[in-house]
Amino acid sequence: MSRTVFILLIILPSLARADVVERNVNFSNYSKPLYTQVVDRIRAKILARLGKGPSLRDRYFIIPFAYQNKHNDPEFSHSFISVIRVFADSKPAKLTPGLPTRTYMNRQFEAFTISWLPADFMSNPHLCVFNGPGSRLFASANECPVSPGHNFSLQETIDLAAKEKVAVAMWGPYEIAKPAFELGVKRKKLLDGGTIKYRADDRGYRKKRVAINCFHAMAGLEELYPNGGLFGTGFKMWGFNGTARVLIEYTQKMSNKGLLLEPVDVKNDRYGFVYAPVRNGRVPYNPTRNASVYYK
């Protein structure tokens, strides 16, 4: 046996073991639709943070999300975020114009989601991300069109993910300050105003406020359209990586300004929802350490 072969026989098994990550999957909610599982987890986490006693002040939270397919193709990846305000029990609530009020377990709250996609995505779910020779490297070479944009609800977005059977990641909830909530409302109004369009590769478009992608729609709430990722475009910043990059930005900027009120662990805070065709069967794709399983 040659020395090279001997070394490979020793090294390769250890490298394989290094890539093995323990995956914990939970089938207990398998019969529940994915959207129900997501909402139930959000409610449980926020109620635990509020405690059993009366809430004496308004509390504000963000829940960042992402989804991606097995190959992390940008055409099947998305980053989005939900923002929630839970009203105090001790005084009448001053409602945010345009946001519906809901009640759960005697707690009143209002919520919205920033999920920026082409306006016709429900009927035509085919993203043009990079098209043309050299388009990944050079913005001018990308022939993808600019599309009218639309801010979709959390249910619409989660239903899209379930339809494609992709893996969904959720971080948080993280508590934020009131000014951060107001910045989120301001961003939602900007997107809903109809002046901003959608383009997955928004290089050359976002700074002139022509078009923006999902990543930049939720990033930089205090700074419109920040750069991010290789080549300043969010290159390779889609799906889980895209939302993780936003969280790093929040930690660096929003925490320093007192907008994000607690620490973020990008890797360990992530919780997954993954598809399996049969209960207690094989999970085709699970990129998360801890996940609940869905099939519809």
- Residue 56 belongs to a domain: yes
**Which among 123-132, 171-180, 221-230 has the top mean pLDDT?**
171-180
Q: Is residue 4 assigned to a domain?
A: no
Would residue 10 count as lying in a domain? Answer: no
Q: What is the pLDDT of residue 79?
A: 94
Name the pLDDT band for 216 (thresholds 50, 70, 90): confident
Residue 14 pLDDT greater than 70, yes or no: no
| CA gap 74, 80 in Å, rounded | 14
Q: Is 2 part of any domain?
A: no
Structural domain boundaries enclosing 156: 23-294
188 belongs to a structural domain = yes
Give the residue-averaged pLDDT of 36-57.
Answer: 93
Reported confidence tier of residue 215, pLDDT bands at 50, 70, 90? confident
Better pLDDT: 5 or 252: 252
- pLDDT (average), residues 267-290: 96
- Give the range among 6-15, 61-70, 150-159, 255-264 with minimum mean pLDDT: 6-15
Please report whether residue 247 resides in a domain.
yes
Read off the pLDDT band of 214 (50, 70, 90): very high
Residue 159 CA to residue 157 CA, distance in Å, equals 5
Does residue 101 sit within a domain? yes
The domain total for the chain is 1
Whether 18 has a pLDDT exceeding 50, the answer reads no
Is 5 within a domain? Answer: no
